[in-house]
Structure 1
Amino acid sequence: MADRARELSALLSSAALVVAGGIVGSVAKLGERVVIGRLLSPDAYGEVSIGLALLTFAATFAIAGCTQGVSRFVPRYTDPADRRGVWVSGLLVAETLALALAAFLFVGAEGFAVRLFETDAAVPFLRVLAIALPVVVGFQIAVAAIRGFENTVYRTVIRDLLDPALRTGLIAFLLVLGWGIVAAGVAYLLAAVVTVVVAHLFLSRLVALRGPVRTHVRELVTFSAPLVVATMVGTLLTQTDTIMLGYFRSSAEVGLYSAAYPLASGLLVVLTAFGFLYLPIASRLDADGERDAVDDIYATTTKWVYVVTFPAFVLLAVFPADVLALVFGPAYTDAAVVLPILATGFFVSAAAGRDRETLSAFGSTSWIAIGNGIGLLLNVLVNLALIPRFGILGASVASVTSLVAVHAVICAVLAVQYDITPFSPEATRTYLVLPATILPVTALAAGWLTITPVTILPFLVGTGLCSLVVVGIAGGFEPDDVVVVDVLEDSLGRSIPLVRRWIPDARSESSLSAD
């Protein structure tokens, strides 16, 4: 019990830092999209979104699942030669693929431009992105190695602060100079060059990058090979909508969809925060034969991701037009019809917790590939059926369908093969009671409440406090939740009143069970 509490406390303490950095990073990444959307027309913003979707797809294929492999194997070795070898192995595999894909994208830029874009500037834009691809991949491998050392500070600084801030500033500067959509490509290239250097400087503080190297290419590829399909399919799940919209519909519709999508995907900020240290911790616990501890940590973190994410979900689901007008401007309010749909899909993803990382820690990466494959198949089929007729509405339905299918498969595997689920009686009450009580009240309040820069923060805070009260009254707290309160009190430097009286004491529960 003490070991489990210690691991959970370490994970939550890390998550508190990563949540703060993740919020800043998400705001910066959203700011990047807002800058592009406000300084360009919706159709030009759609063009940029298609190009960045291609870059994301190419980078994911080049990485070939090695980021998870590097993060998994680094903590399993103690010899610096092995740890350096894991990092070098990841670079060898990923950069070889990245250079090949960069050449393909550079040479084939004109073909992509004819099929997916509506402007002549697409060709130089795509070629700049092709040059940026190997640098972006090197940066991600370095971050994966830092993750393996369970260092959250370095990751937060470079990934959540430096990288998005540099890109956003460069994009704004170049757009003001009149560079058009090419500005995004140049900004991604320059930011990647800076961040890959800084990332390796940070990594060198954790392990000397010079010295004997014992590579683990075969071991890394064996683990990561199933993840090639899984991560590729996972990326296609998030990018197929954009690419297919660009093929079947106008760039302006892609721009509208690309305004709603990053807002909805922001619901994963808290989940991502827990995920940074989750994989190496779960991997280490599994190696030590402590799967019961993995089960407890997975269940506790999943419930709290649900609770913390819920107010933002309510905001996007009930006030979509207000949020779009506030963030992107009145030109994008037509996307209000799809924002609640997308928010539902991403909230389901957040509510499923770190299911994929849990399977990765156990080495069952093939099931991740199967789940993602089923989701992608549904995504493509529903997109083909609905996008030509319904446009962005069809794309949003396809996105939600695929997200739900992926997590249903992976959570089922965890439950059947490993007896791991996030559904304790207390958690189940939380999952059911919150939407049943908060959503109807908020929907009624929408008739007289408008979300503005003044009201948005009070709304989120008020909804969050009401959610905690509802969870407490419904009996949704359990003994492990005291670790969450401890971490929050340590972070705030003061005690949190009233909450502890709602949390059952582990000793009293044990005595009741014994009786």
Structure 2
Amino acid sequence: MTTLQRFRTSLATLLGPRGGAKQGALWTLLMRVVSTGLGFATSVLLARLLGVSGYGVYAFVFAWVNLLAIPTALGMDKLMVREVAVFRARGAWGALHGFVRWGNLAVLAASLGVAALAAGVGWVVLAPRDGLRLAFVLALASLPLTTLTSLRQAAMRGFNHIVSGQWPELLLRPVLIIAFSLLAWFALPRFGLPFNAVWATLAAFAATAVAFGVGALLLVRVLRDETESAPPSAEPGRWLRRALPFMVISGMYVLNARTDVVMLGMLADTDAVGLYTPATRGAELISFVLLAVNTALSPTLARLFAEGKRAQLEAATARSTRLITLATLPLALGMVLLGGVFLRLFGPEFVAARTALVILSAGQLINAATGTVGTLLNMTGFERDTALAVGLSATLNILLNALLIPPFGINGAAAATALSTLTWNALLATFVYRRLGFYALLGVLTLRRARHASER
């Protein structure tokens, strides 16, 4: 059996019984492989077309959109995966129907309000240089679509429609960004207009809108099949209280992921952002296995915990962590050894970010070695522990970026991100061990025997 066949077999057996979750994990990984390639191609294309300065503007404005998507999602996206899976297991179709409907309406109202406020502030505060002000306002138009998309993906995961819940954004959106960008690049010179960050932002918005429309139709079809006969019931106060810890968790995760880009733009300039962003793209390539497994595994973890199947929960955690580590290690080593070759694809000027890429790659390898600790806590009802751990590391990330960016530039930003990644994973692994009685560093399961035996 070849290495590829063993890898496929390990993933296919990750979740045990034959069915939607198992196949969802496999197809999610394969889809994310393709999506990662498309995302990489998109980044290379835009970096080539826009150059360091224009690409920096594009990356900076969408980093802000990703940050603002967290408070506007209200934590409902993460809560929805767990609640939909639990409602389905209990046959509570009315509550499920009402939860999905109320969640979407609440998130839509929040995202529209935040987008309008941020656009007004950005228009006053940001300089018009390189189209930064206009690109920022245009990017914010995609904020409601982005937040509603995260909610729709979460609902589809809860329904175990894992693949159909993701392909519009993972596959269709990057293809459309490439197509719309190339179309604008060829057509605009005929009208005496250059292709710049503003037009790239418009291309991304159009692609987001089309992908959102396709995904919304898929969710409507699933809801009709699952909940058509059940009148919706709503408990908005209780749901909002449960969602708030997830909002904090999501905010801290994204803050950890985007603080470096945002603070580079604020403490240095958008040229530094443009130089640094390809290094972050390399680090994201390393993390795609972790994201794919977590996406498919989360509803299963919630179900196993709710059903009291502790042994199966521990086994699934150990297998997933082992798989993630083994798949991530060669990717990280490749970025360390061939980082210059990778960055040269974006343009020769981007090779200056090689050291930053090495630092970020080390951080992602640490992230993979601890596996699904955050998802495990969230899906077993200990999301407040996750919020505390990630909140502390996000605070550390901000402080380190403020200290390290002025003297070290993009390398300081990379070091701050890697250190905060190490911090949150260490804290999350500690909380998993205390709450659930085990952890699975590198896929090696360690149990607290006394507690484990008493709970059984």
Classify the TM-score, shorter chain: 0.7 to 0.9
Q: Cα RMSD between the aligned structures? A: 2.1
How far apart are 1:11 and its partner, in Å?
4.3
Q: Report what 2:452 is aligned to.
A: none
Q: Do the aligned residues in 2 keep the contact of 1:375 with 1:402 (CA within 8 Å)? A: yes
Amino acid at match of 2:199: A
Q: Do the aligned residues in 2 keep the contact of 1:23 with 1:269 (CA within 8 Å)? A: yes
Q: Do the aligned residues in 2 keep the contact of 1:139 with 1:192 (CA within 8 Å)? A: no
Among candidates 365, 368, 377, match of residue 347 of structure 1: 365
Q: Do the aligned residues in 2 keep the contact of 1:102 with 1:133 (CA within 8 Å)? A: yes
Structure 1 length normalisation: TM-score?
0.78
Whole-angstrom distance in 2 between the partners of 1:339 and 1:40 = 21
Among candidates 384, 406, 415, match of residue 397 of structure 1: 415
Q: Report what 2:7 is aligned to.
A: none
Q: Report what 1:320 is aligned to.
A: 339
Whole-angstrom distance in 1 between the partners of 2:215 and 2:20 = 23
How far apart are 1:371 and its partner, in Å?
0.9
- Measured at CA, do residues 405 and 424 of structure 1 come closer, stay the same or move farther in structure 2, by a change above 3 Å? closer
How far apart are 1:57 and its partner, in Å?
0.6
Q: Report what 1:221 is aligned to.
A: 240
Whole-angstrom distance in 2 between the partners of 1:341 and 1:259 = 13
Residues 476-513 of structure 1 show CA distances to partners (whole Å, capped at 9, x for unaligned) of xxxxxxxxxxxxxxxxxxxxxxxxxxxxxxxxxxxxxx
How far apart are 1:179 and its partner, in Å?
3.7
How far apart are 1:80 and its partner, in Å?
3.5
Q: Report what 1:72 is aligned to.
A: 82
Q: Within the alignment, does 1:181 sit opposite 2:197 as a pair?
A: yes
Q: Report what 1:421 is aligned to.
A: 439
How far apart are 1:260 and its partner, in Å?
0.5
How far apart are 1:110 and its partner, in Å?
2.1
Q: Do the aligned residues in 2 keep the contact of 1:64 with 1:228 (CA within 8 Å)? A: yes
Whole-angstrom distance in 2 between the partners of 1:416 and 1:80 = 34
Amino acid at match of 1:232: G
Q: Within the alignment, does 1:154 sit opposite 2:164 as a pair?
A: yes
Whole-angstrom distance in 1 between the partners of 2:179 and 2:406 = 36
- Measured at CA, do residues 312 and 423 of structure 1 come closer, stay the same or move farther in structure 2, by a change above 3 Å? closer
Q: Secondary structure at the match of 2:274?
A: helix
How far apart are 1:217 and its partner, in Å?
2.4
How far apart are 1:8 and its partner, in Å?
8.5
How far apart are 1:89 and its partner, in Å?
2.2
Q: Do the aligned residues in 1 keep the contact of 2:320 with 2:443 (CA within 8 Å)? A: no
Q: Within the alignment, does 1:337 sit opposite 2:350 as a pair?
A: no
How far apart are 1:229 and its partner, in Å?
1.6
How far apart are 1:403 and its partner, in Å?
0.5
Q: Report what 2:105 is aligned to.
A: 92
Residues 59-110 of structure 1 show CA distances to partners (whole Å, capped at 9, x for unaligned) of 1221121111111111212243322212112212211210111111221222
Amino acid at match of 2:401: N
Residues 301-325 of structure 1 show CA distances to partners (whole Å, capped at 9, x for unaligned) of 1011110111111100112111111
Q: Report what 1:505 is aligned to.
A: none
Higher alpha-carbon Rg: 1
Q: Secondary structure at the match of 1:153?
A: coil
How far apart are 1:152 and its partner, in Å?
2.3
Structure 1 segment 13-28 matched on structure 2, within 5 A: 13-28=23-38
Q: Report what 2:215 is aligned to.
A: 199
Whole-angstrom distance in 2 between the partners of 1:53 and 1:112 = 17
Q: Report what 1:40 is aligned to.
A: 50
Greater RCO, CA 8 A, separation 6+: 2
Among candidates 412, 421, 445, match of residue 430 of structure 2: 412
Q: Secondary structure at the match of 1:276?
A: helix
Whole-angstrom distance in 1 between the partners of 2:15 and 2:302 = 17
% identical equivalent positions: 24
Question: Which is further off, 10-19 or 383-392?
Answer: 10-19
Q: Secondary structure at the match of 2:165?
A: helix
Whole-angstrom distance in 2 between the partners of 1:63 and 1:105 = 15
Q: Report what 1:377 is aligned to.
A: 395
Q: Report what 1:306 is aligned to.
A: 325
Question: Which is further off, 391-400 or 248-257?
Answer: 248-257
Whole-angstrom distance in 2 between the partners of 1:180 and 1:329 = 17
Q: Do the aligned residues in 2 keep the contact of 1:32 with 1:171 (CA within 8 Å)? A: no
Q: Secondary structure at the match of 2:129?
A: coil
Q: Secondary structure at the match of 1:108?
A: helix
Whole-angstrom distance in 2 between the partners of 1:218 and 1:356 = 25
Q: Do the aligned residues in 1 keep the contact of 2:108 with 2:144 (CA within 8 Å)? A: yes
Q: Do the aligned residues in 2 keep the contact of 1:383 with 1:395 (CA within 8 Å)? A: yes
Whole-angstrom distance in 1 between the partners of 2:73 and 2:443 = 40
Residues 15-58 of structure 1 show CA distances to partners (whole Å, capped at 9, x for unaligned) of 22111100111112222211110101112111111101001011
- Measured at CA, do residues 120 and 4 of structure 1 come closer, stay the same or move farther in structure 2, by a change above 3 Å? closer
Q: Do the aligned residues in 1 keep the contact of 2:318 with 2:443 (CA within 8 Å)? A: no
Amino acid at match of 1:346: Q
- Measured at CA, do residues 286 and 401 of structure 1 come closer, stay the same or move farther in structure 2, by a change above 3 Å? same
Q: Which runs of 5+ in 1 are unaligned?
A: 429-515
Q: Report what 1:467 is aligned to.
A: none
Structure 2 length normalisation: TM-score?
0.87
Whole-angstrom distance in 2 between the partners of 1:210 and 1:12 = 27
Amino acid at match of 1:36: L
Structure 1 segment 105-124 matched on structure 2, within 5 A: 105-114=118-127, 119-124=129-134
Q: Report what 2:3 is aligned to.
A: none
Question: Which is further off, 134-143 or 294-303?
Answer: 134-143
